[in-house]
Amino acid sequence: MYNKGTIIPGLIIFVLIVMSPVLYNGLKAGSVPKPEPPPGGEKQCVLPVSEMRDKHMQLLNEWRDEVLRDDERVTVVADGKQYRKGLQLACMQCHTNKEKFCDSCHEYASVKPYCWDCHLTPAQQKAALKKETH
Amino acid sequence: MKYAFSFLVVIVLIVVAGLGSQIQGMQYVFGVALPYLAILVFAGGFIYRVVQWAKSPVPFPIQTTCGQAASLDFIKQNKLECPNTTSEVVARMILEIVTFRSLFRNTKSEIHEGPQLTYESSKWLWVFSLMFHYSFLLIIIRHMRLFLDPAPFWMAWIEFGDGIFQVGAPNAYITDATILMAIVYLFGRRIINRHVKYISLINDFFPLVLIFGIACTGILMRYFLRTDVDILAIKRLAVGLVTFSPVIGVKIGAIFYIHLFLVSTLLIYFPFSKLMHMGGVFLSPTRNLKNNSRAVRHINPWNPDIKPHSYAGYEDEFREFMVDAGIPVEKELPVEKG
Ligand code: HEM
């Protein structure tokens, strides 16, 4: 073999890059997060759970378009109660702890929905209300 | 025909994975066994190919010179186009690898009335192949979020930049659009441009169609066919794969297995195909040699070791026969003592 001095370091770099996920995780697979069930004791989501898990972002996108573009400000029924269609108005009424619910999954999957740039999380909302009543 | 056949092969692969992964128990074949096999073939084959290349001697310095070589002091050397030292070569290689400078020189030739042959600069190939390679790279880096737990902090920056338009949810990625556009161009070029079509082989079309299939299934999975695409379960599988403890806990949709099967096919095909230019670009003698052939003698490494043979030595060896044959010699045979 010619040019051993560059070929061998080059191949070592290649192998390190291919192996990098193995080295990074250090053989610890970790566990999938368990999002906290709604603290209010509700039993059912707006759709079957498996569908919510896979498609809640699509549902939110549809709802956003329907509410804001088509002005379909309607109510949805979930777990026997009526909610106004929306992110803060529906989802966060049951899933009142964003940090322990939405974020637990999102951190694991490395997604950072930008929704909270404008929308208030239940915790922020509570804090804001407190300020106003003072 | 050649491109139609490539499509046929990819469609067959899709059907195999789509139906196969639905058979009870086969999830581990498509989700675990084949990906492991694929990465082994990929890494092993890649190393094998590079070692084979490294074993081939380079008999001549054959760098392409695109500028003035190092010469007398008052003649200005073009350091990048005609490198003379190792650091200049490194600079040239880095720019070649990250900006595809040699593709930037691409020209197109046309015959006009006359007949007159014209050449003109054509940058489209350069633009679209840059687009293709960088989209591909970013997509692969972004995919690491599925393999790394916890995902590194900078992953969010890439995801933010790639999704800066904030269209829809799941957030649309720019690279998803650009990789498709680039593949369509690179494929179209091989069909529409007569010169290129003539020299295109099935092994030019197949990787394009395969990568097109991978990109399409990925995009379908993210934006359209989300049924049974539980990213958490997929991440558990992917992290499991790289920590040697894979589990498939829940039902994952066929679209995921199709995506993964096409990727496995790509990895297995990689070392045997022109895709090896990923490693080969580092080993191109026309780029990575110094243009110092006037200053340093390049010796062909396979030259046999030929010892000099002077005329005096030659005569010493054959003097008897020369004298016998009546050929004049410079030094006579020693007089025999009678
Ligand atoms: C050659 C390598 C690969 C290419 C070019 C590729 C391409 C793509 C593309 C273009 C997308 C669309 C969304 C995005 O850009 O993130 C995607 C999504 C996806 N790919 Fe791949 N992929 C590759 C390898 C893999 C592997 C090895 C896995 C196995 C874990 C995988 C799993 C996924 C999943 C789960 C999605 C959906 C992501 C989401 O919903 O956000 N891909 N792929």
Residue B337 has a pLDDT of: 64
Q: Tell me the residues of A at the B interface, defined by beta carbons under 8 Å apart.
A: 1-4, 7, 10-11, 14-15, 18, 21-22, 24-30, 32-33, 50-51, 53-55, 57-58, 60-61, 105, 107-114
- CA B279 to each of CA A48, B23, B50, B194, B288: distance values in angstroms, whole numbers, following the listed order: 49, 38, 7, 29, 13
As a whole number of angstroms, the distance between CA B2 and CA B87 comes to: 43
- CA A72 to each of CA A38, A64, A82: distance values in angstroms, whole numbers, following the listed order: 26, 10, 15
Please give, rounded to a whole number of angstroms, the shortest distance from the CA of A109 to a CA of chain B: 7
In this complex, which of B57, B151, B240 lies closest to A110 when CB atoms are compared?
B151
| B100 pLDDT more than 70 | yes
* Whole-prediction pTM: 0.92
Name the residue of chain B whose CA is nearest to A30's CA: B149
Tracing tokens 């002005």 back to the chain, one arrives at A71
The rounded mean pLDDT for chain B is 92
| Residue ID of nearest Cα to ligand 1 atom 31 | B260
- The 10 Å Cβ neighbour count of residue B86 is 9
3-state SS class at B120 = strand
Task: Return the percentage of chain A with pLDDT > 70, whole number.
Answer: 99
Tell me the chain A residues in contact with residue B226 when contact means C-beta distances shorter than 8 Å.
54-55, 58
Please give, rounded to a whole number of angstroms, the shortest distance from the CA of B323 to a CA of chain A: 48
CB A14 within 8 A of CB B279: yes
As a whole number of angstroms, the distance between CA B319 and CA B304 comes to: 27
The reply to whether residue A1 touches residue B55, judged by beta carbons under 8 angstroms, is: yes
The reply to whether residue A107 touches residue B169, judged by beta carbons under 8 angstroms, is: no
Identity of the residue numbered A42 = E
Q: pLDDT tens, A7-62?
A: 999 999 999 999 999 999 988 888 889 999 998 888 899 999 999 999 999 999 99
Tracing tokens 């680039």 back to the chain, one arrives at B182
Q: pLDDT tens, B233-248?
A: 999 999 999 999 999 9
Nearest to B283 by CA among A65, A7, A73: A7
Structure-block tokens of residue B118: 């014209």
10 Å CB burial of residue A87 (0-12, 13-18, 19+) is middle
| B338 pLDDT more than 70 | no
Asked if the peptide bond before residue A113 counts as cis, ω within 30 degrees of 0, the response is no
In this complex, which of A26, A33, A60 lies closest to B169 when CB atoms are compared?
A60
Tell me the chain A residues in contact with residue B157 when contact means C-beta distances shorter than 8 Å.
none
Identity of the residue numbered A98 = K
Structure-block tokens of residue A111: 């997604």
Give helix A4-25 / helix B231-242 axis angle, nearest 10°.
Answer: 130
Domain ranges of chain B: 2-306, 308-338
Tell me the chain B residues in contact with residue A60 when contact means C-beta distances shorter than 8 Å.
169
**Please, which pLDDT band fits residue B136 given cuts at 50, 70 and 90?**
very high
| Ligand 1 atom at minimum distance from B146 CA | 30
Nearest to A107 by CA among B170, B234, B232, B162: B232
Nearest to B13 by CA among B271, B258, B272, B260: B258
Domain ranges of chain A: 43-110
- CA B191 to each of CA A24, A47, B3, B127, B246: distance values in angstroms, whole numbers, following the listed order: 43, 48, 9, 18, 42
Residue A134 has a pLDDT of: 65
Tell me the chain A residues in contact with residue B290 when contact means C-beta distances shorter than 8 Å.
none
What is the full DSSP assignment across chain A? ---HHHHHHHHHHHHHHHHHHHHHHTT-------PPPPTT-----SS-HHHHHHHHHHHHHHHHHHHHHS----EEEETTEEEESSIIIIIHHHS--TTTTHHHHHHHHT---GGGGTSPPHHHHHHHHHHHH-
Residues composing chain A: 134
CA angle at residue B270 from B143 to B187, to 5 degrees?
Answer: 85
Q: pLDDT tens, B28-66?
A: 999 999 999 999 999 999 999 999 999 988 888 888 888
| B221 pLDDT more than 60 | yes
As a whole number of angstroms, the distance between CA B30 and CA B17 comes to: 7
- The 10 Å Cβ neighbour count of residue B74 is 5
CB B241 within 8 A of CB B12: no
Query: In CATH, what class is B2-306?
Result: mainly alpha
As a whole number of angstroms, the distance between CA A108 and CA B148 comes to: 10
| B336 pLDDT more than 80 | no
Tracing tokens 């690179």 back to the chain, one arrives at B186
Q: Mean pLDDT over residues B20-24, rounded?
A: 91
Residue A62 has a pLDDT of: 94
As a whole number of angstroms, the distance between CA B73 and CA B60 comes to: 26
Structure-block tokens of residue B90: 């490194």
CA angle at residue B186 from B182 to B192, to 5 degrees?
Answer: 130
| B159 pLDDT more than 80 | yes
Of residues A80 and B271, which shows the higher confidence score?
Answer: B271
As a whole number of angstroms, the distance between CA B307 and CA B318 comes to: 17
| B93 pLDDT more than 60 | yes
- Give Cα A56 distance to the centre of its chain: 9
Structure-block tokens of residue B55: 């074993």
In this complex, which of B55, B144, B229 lies closest to A54 when CB atoms are compared?
B229
B19's CB contacts (< 8 A; 6+ apart) are none
Residue B32 has a pLDDT of: 95
Residue B180 has a pLDDT of: 97
B46 contacts chain A (CB < 8 A) = yes
In this complex, which of B54, B55, B245 lies closest to A29 when CB atoms are compared?
B245
Q: Mean pLDDT over residues B252-271, rounded?
A: 96
